[in-house]
A and B are shown apart, each in its own frame.
Chain A
Amino acid sequence: MSILVYTESENGKFKKSALEVTSYAKGLADQLNTQVIAVAVNVDDTSALANYGADKVLQVNNSKLDNFNAKAYADVLQQAAEKNSSKVIVVSSSANSKYLAPLLSAGLKAGYASNVVSLPDSTEPFRVKRTAFTNKAFNFTEISTQVKIVGLANNAYGLKESSSSANAESFEPTLDEKDFEIKVSSVDKTTGKIAIADADIVVSGGRGLKGPENWHLIEDLAEVLGAATACSKPVSDMGWRPHSEHVGQTGKPVASNLYVAVGISGAIQHLAGVNASKVKLVINNDPEAPFFKAADYGVVGDAFTVVPELIEKLKEFKANNA
């Protein structure tokens, strides 16, 4: 028996989510009294996983897997799960994990629960808590199959250190022609920018900023905080910002540690998508803005004076706390 965990990497380095899913898998392995086996694709140095509870690391090295390919990656995980009699497979909530998990679910006939926020509150039956209705509620789901797949929500469990052996061994799955019927012709990643899905902090701007020419406020604030930038839906609809920054119920979900909303009213559809963030700071000049009801911290004031001052003070703070 074992818990299998898919540890994602980029350019040969683990993503933070890989360490989070490994931490979660360790928690689960303790509950079920078993070991954690991580699968890492094209990562040479997997030692980082030893700090988060991986007992064994299956290193898959294959140039055919250089580009992410959901079908092939699902096949790799399926073979690893079968070989190690894995009872639970843990994946993250990245776009790639959400792409491969249903394929793996069908392949193994394993029940899959996405957006899971905590360890199972019962292992027999196996029941997990997940978000539903785009963060407007939680839902307890029972997975009744032998093998189970848990998709962990971003930042829901956090990193938990626990030293382990993380013995690396090479794993060579048999890949099939059928795994490669989808070909990647180009990848277009905004380099040097933090993706909303990976960010610990997200700084988001709304219509209150009046126009795209004022977005340096959001960008500068994001820069001092090491944050990703986001926006409300009308802002992307008007073309002030790219669609990829639109967050909310019909945009990207945000589950950061800190979400800073500047000049955003806090409409129900916006809140639905960002409510999973742990701490929310709202800057708005209208004390009646609905967002204040959903916020942890608030500043009632004009963004055009508050934000520049906040940036200056944060620079000072960072300099003193470096």
Chain B
Amino acid sequence: MKILVCISHVPDTTSKINFTDGDSKFDTSGVQFIINPNDEFGLTRAMWFKEKQGAEVTVVNVGESSTEPTLRKALAIGADNAIRINAAPTDGYYTAVQLAEVAKDYDLVIAGKESIDYNGGMVPGILAELTGFNFINSCIGLEVDGSTATVTREIDGGKESLQTTLPLVIGGQKGIVEEKDLKIPNARGIMMARKKTLTVQEPVQSETLTKAVSFEKPAAKGTVKLVEADNLDALIDLLHNEAKVI
């Protein structure tokens, strides 16, 4: 089985989010970038298929050269090789078109259900339609036997079990592997990663359907209203009459 893991390169979860150029661009200064957490779970699951079922694992990112350390990290975790498509991922459709060029040669494409930066939640689904692959989103469990996949999907208020056939794209998330099983690069992995191939490929022509034009930070929060622990009637009054939430 050939597995492609889509890796989006996102600011570390502790990052303070700021914008520049008149609030039109994300300010990357001082920001640490990481593998999108949903993709990290997916990559770890891919490693399991590699170890247990002899799968070959490629990681791919659509991004400029600044994303290479993130791909190297994925190689250090154990991916066999990496592809960077040399373009800024300007919108979900554009990104999916680029990924589709690569994805058609794979049996299983593991992406994340969303990136934690733009929270678009659209690349995997569009990619599936462009390639004609089956698609299952919010995946929290994945088994493959020959060309049959058994997938658990998280739904609002529960989960469901699904069956389908490869080729398949999934939008993965926490649960596809347990947090404690997440793979982190060790010294040997980092050494080996240096020798693995990272292919840079030019993008294909594609249109975009949407454009992020500007950003805004949430309004500063007013100060909290504190209620004494022995005056909870006042709290209920505030929730009922002022906030109108109970």
Q: Which residues of A contact B (CB under 8 A)?
A: 68, 70-71, 94-96, 98-99, 101-103, 105-107, 109-115, 127, 129-145, 151, 181-190, 193-198, 200-201, 225, 237, 243-244, 246, 249-251, 257-258, 268-269, 272, 275, 278-279, 281-282, 292-302, 305-306, 309-310, 313-314, 317, 321
Contacts and interface: CB of A to CB of B under 8 A. Distances in A.
B145 interface: no
13 contacts: A71-B135, A95-B138, A103-B125, A114-B122, A139-B212, A182-B136, A183-B162, A183-B164, A184-B161, A201-B245, A243-B174, A244-B159, A317-B240
Contacts of A68: 155
Nearest to B208: A144
Contact of A250 (B165, B171, B174): B174
Contacts of A201: 245-246
Q: Is the interface of B mostly helix, strand, loop or mixed?
A: mixed
Contact of B158 (A94, A190, A300): A190
A310 B216 CA distance: 37
Nearest to B138: A95
B134 interface: yes
A52 to B, nearest CB: 20
Given A107-B129, A294-B221, A313 B233 contact: yes
B157 A189 contact: yes
Contacts of A190: 157-158
B229 A305 contact: yes
Interface stretch (B61-69, B113-121, B197-205): B113-121
What band does the interface of chain B fall in when counting residues whose beta carbon is under 8 Å from A? 35 or more
B118 to A, nearest CB: 5
B116 A225 contact: no
A140 B216 contact: yes
Given A132-B118, A134-B119, A269-B13, A144 B211 contact: yes
A268 B209 contact: no
Nearest to B41: A250
Closest 6 CB pairs of A and B: A102-B125, A301-B229, A195-B157, A106-B129, A111-B209, A189-B158
B239 A299 contact: no
Contacts of B216: 129, 137-140
Given A114-B122, A298-B225, A133 B209 contact: no
A70 B137 contact: yes
